[in-house]
Each structure stands twice: as C-alpha cells, then as structure tokens.
Structure 1
Amino acid sequence: MKLALFDLDHTLLPIDSDFEWGEFLCRVGAVDAAQFKRRNEEFFAQYQAGTLDPVEYLEFSLGTLASFEPERLAELQQQYMTEVVMPNIRPAARALLQKHLDAGDLVAIVTATNHFVVAPIAQAFGVEHLIAAMPERDAAGRITGKLLGTPTQGEGKIVHTKAWLEKLGHSLDSFESVHFYSDSHNDLPLLSIVSHPIATNPNAKLSEHATAQGWPSIHLFND
C-alpha cells in the first residue's frame, strides 16, 4: 500500500481557506469587520513569515466560532462553501487526488486549519481522512473556543499523522511509498521525512529548498 498526504491551502486550493473564512465573515457582516480584518491579516502575515504562534491564532479563530449559535454557524458554513470554496476547487487538484484514490492509495489531507472550516472541504474533494486542528466542544457539542490537543502545524503534522496511522494499525514505514504535497516551507518537517516530497505551487522559501534538495515541483493553478 502507498500513502498520499496533502496539505490544503495553496496546495489543493488556490486560496487560504482559513483566511478566506475570516474575510467571508467580515463581508457578510457576521463580525466586526474592521477589528477582525486587522487581526486576521496580522496572523496571516505571521503565517507567511513562519512566525505564527499556532495556539494563539487557533484560539482567536475558534473563539470566533464559539460566538455563534450552532444553527447560525451551520448556515454560514454552507454559504461559505457555496460562495467561496466550491468556485476554487480546480480540475487539476481533483485530478491529482483522484490519481491516488484510483490507485488504491491511502489518502489524507493534513492541514493546520481548524476542523470546522476544512471538514466540508475534504468532503467536497472526496477525501475520507482529515487531520486538522480540533476545536474543543462542551457536553452539548458546542465549540468552546479552545483548541483540543496540539496544533497540526510544522512538527505537529508529524505527531498527528503518526497518531492517525497508529489508530489504523500502520506507521510511516508500513508503506511502499509516502507522498506529501505541500506549498509551504512551514511543512518542511513532514516533507523531510517522507519518501516522495512534492513542492506543490511552492512559495519562494520552499521552492528554493526543493531545488537544493532535488525535490520535484508541480504547479496546479497556472491556468
């Protein structure tokens, strides 16, 4: 069996789903646009620079989710999928995923974005397995605004991927090959331990590293 792991934002999607979720909330008037936009842009710049504190950001993001009634949150999620995500699911990304699915590979999306935002996106891509930052929920199932466990970013992607595989009775060494597709230097920890790292729509830092290491690079969104 082979394993294929995919980052999500700017890898399978030409957008950052977490950032765009915040922009969407501002656009529809669900949050204080000026205050939220300022914080959202600050965090996004930190992520791009590799200086983001993932817990601080996730609890900002999850705290926003906790402020809505569940019914309203579900409505916003559906509207966001329809208006923002679905128009950005490109044929090239679907085809790349489908190639691995058709080959019988075990496929998972491994993302630093929170599970609430990305679960319907993984479903839209037809991917069963999702490793994402988990929001804490109370006894009634409501999001509390806290992060459950550790972030799924950087080294955290290795920790969570290994834990997921262990539940399935596997390890990274169980597979004939392990592909990991990512756009970002933030994913260098996981990229560096798989047999087939693929720089996918890479940012400048990852592109430079991939070239130095002789890793292949692909570009899905050049059309």
Structure 2
Amino acid sequence: MRLLRRRHEADAEVAGEAAAAAALEMAPIEPDTQAAAFFDVDNTMMRGASIYHFARGLATRGMFTTSDLFKFAIGQAVFRLRGNENPEHIKVARETALAFVAGAKVEDVVRLGEEIYDEVMADRIWAGTRALAQRHLDAGQRVWLVTATPVELARVIAQRLGLTGALGTVAESRDGIYTGRLVGDLLHGPAKAEAVRALARREGLDLTRCSAYSDSANDLPMLSLVGHAVAVNPDAELREHARKHGWPIKDFRTGRKATLAALPIAAGVGAVAGGIAAGVALRKHYRALD
C-alpha cells in the first residue's frame, strides 16, 4: 500500500513537471503597442444599460422604490421610441443627476458597483462580444471600454472582464466626495471619439490599426475614427451604415429584438436618467445616515 502511494506521488510530480514545461514552451505574447480595441458597453458588451442594472441593484437594497425604477425604465423606453435627443432635455437631466449625486462618496459608488456587477450584470455579458475582446488581448493588444456610464462603474466592468481599462463620464470629486459637477460633459457621441483620440495620443496608438465596436449609430464618430469598425447587435441606422461601408456585422442576439423596454439602452438621456435614479438612491442613503 505504501509503495503504491509513493508511486502515485511520483507520477503526480512527473505530471506536474511536464505540465509546467509545456506551459513554458508557449511563446510569450508580444505586446502590440500601437493597436488597441475600443468597446461600447450598453447592448454591445452587455445586454441592456449598465446604469439601469446598477439602479436595479440599488433598488434591491432599498435605496429607492420600485416605482422610481419603473419611471426610469419607461422614460428610457419613450426616448428609444422617439429616436432623437433633445439637447435641452439632456442638459436638464444631467444637471438634475449631478445635483443628486453631490456629496456622495466615490468609494461607496465603487463598492456598490462591484457588488451589483457580481449580482446583476455578470450574467448579462454577451459571450460573443467578450470573445471578440479576448482575441485582441490574445494578440497582445489593449482593450478599453468606452461608455457614457460613470467612469467608476465602467472601471469595475473592465476589471471584472480582465480588460485594460475604461473611458467613461467623469464626475468631479474633491477629497473623495462628488462635487456635483462634471469634468467636461457626458462621454457620448462625439465625446467618445475625442476620448479615444486623446488616449491614442497619450499611449502612442496608431488609430488606423485600432478597432472599435458598438451597437449604436450614436457611436459613428468613434467607429469612423479607427481603421477597423465593427457593428455589434446594431440598431437599424448603424446596420445600414455598416453595410454601405463594408464593416463587419456581429449579432449575438439570436433573433431577439435589439432593445426591449425592460432592458433600455443607454444613449445620452438614457445614461443620464440612470444617473438620476442612482443619484436619488445615494442621496436618500446619505440622508438616512445624517
């Protein structure tokens, strides 16, 4: 019996050494310093709007009512059906959201984002899009999320997916407390392209060698900036544009509608509405602590 045990131990040691040797035989991935991939989040990397799912997570914690969440969802659905963005509505919604979030702690938003991602968002990641991102990582390229979602939540998503990082809307903070002002504006539409362009300058990227992925025609400025644009789960306008310009189209929805009312997209107003819902919750939370 003792001899048999020693033989098993020896076999296990040999197997372990062989596995380690085989792993080291693989050629290390050479970093591709001039190419990167940029992925939109809502309905591209994740089903529905990330900020909406964040608001849902806050609702389950009793930080605001189901009625608040329902009103937010209906507001996004109406926005989607109208198919346009009123600049004045965006301005008012943005200012309202910022007023509510003022005074909240950045670390609390990050902590809640981590919890809610694990509980609500992880199962909503499109496996197909995640695989596309992994191909870039395997090729030694950096992969960034680019979203109107607050950068703190965007970073959580990027970290959980093992990506390089995230570009998101930046809310001003001092000493770890939100001031209630944005640094610039929402990272939406042309602002996404400006963020990618700025990152390319900082990181020495060749945009003609970079790739971008999105579901929305709102992201045409970003998609048109890079050498390789891909439409993922595209809306009708983006699908038509992609066909005209010969861009690849990837659809992981298996016949489902691009957007359901219960899973609203985040496009400008949608993202800010989510911020309002989250802001209301955080404001109620801090009032309760006073």
TM bracket (short chain): 0.7 to 0.9
Choose the corresponding residue for 1:185, options 217, 230, 238. Answer: 217
Shift of 1:206: 1.3
Show CA shifts across 1:57-116 (max 9, x none).
444444444465566545532331121111223432322111001101232111111112
Structure 1 residues 36 and 55, CA, compared in 2 at 3 Å: closer, same or farther?
A: farther
Please give the residue correspondences for 1:92-131 in structure 2 after superposition, counting only pairs within 5 Å.
92-131=128-167
Contact kept in structure 2, 1:14 and 1:221, CA below 8 Å: no
What's the offset of the Cα at 1:45? 4.1
Task: Give yes or no for contact 1:183–1:199 (8 Å, CA) kept in 2.
Answer: yes
Q: TM-score, normalised by structure 2?
A: 0.66
Structure 2 counterpart SS, 1:42: helix
Give the superposed CA RMSD.
Answer: 2.6
Quote the Cα distance in structure 1 between the aligned partners of 2:59 and 2:122. Answer: 19
Q: Percent identity?
A: 31
Q: Which is greater in Rg? A: 2
Q: Residues 151 and 73 from structure 1, CA distance in 2 versus in 1: closer, same or farther, beyond 3 angstroms?
A: closer
Secondary structure of residue in 2 paired with 1:29: coil
Greater RCO (CA < 8 Å, at least 6 residues apart): 2
Match of 1:164 in 2: 199
Does structure 1 conserve the Cα–Cα contact (< 8 Å) formed by 2:159 and 2:165? no
1:180–1:197 contact (8 Å) kept in structure 2: yes
Q: Counterpart in 1 of 2:241? A: 209
**Within 1, Cα distance between the matches of 2:162 and 2:61?**
28
Unaligned residue ranges in structure 2 (runs of 5+): 1-33, 256-290
TM-score (norm 1): 0.84
Q: Which has the higher helix share?
A: 2
| Count of aligned pairs | 219
Cα distance in 2 for partners of 1:61, 1:34 equals 18
Query: Contact 2:42/2:50 (CA < 8 Å) preserved in 1?
Result: yes
Which residues of 2 match residues 3-152 of structure 1 at below 5 A?
Answer: 3-35=36-68, 37-39=70-72, 41-43=74-76, 45-46=78-79, 49-51=83-85, 53=87, 54-66=90-102, 68=104, 73-138=109-174, 140-152=175-187
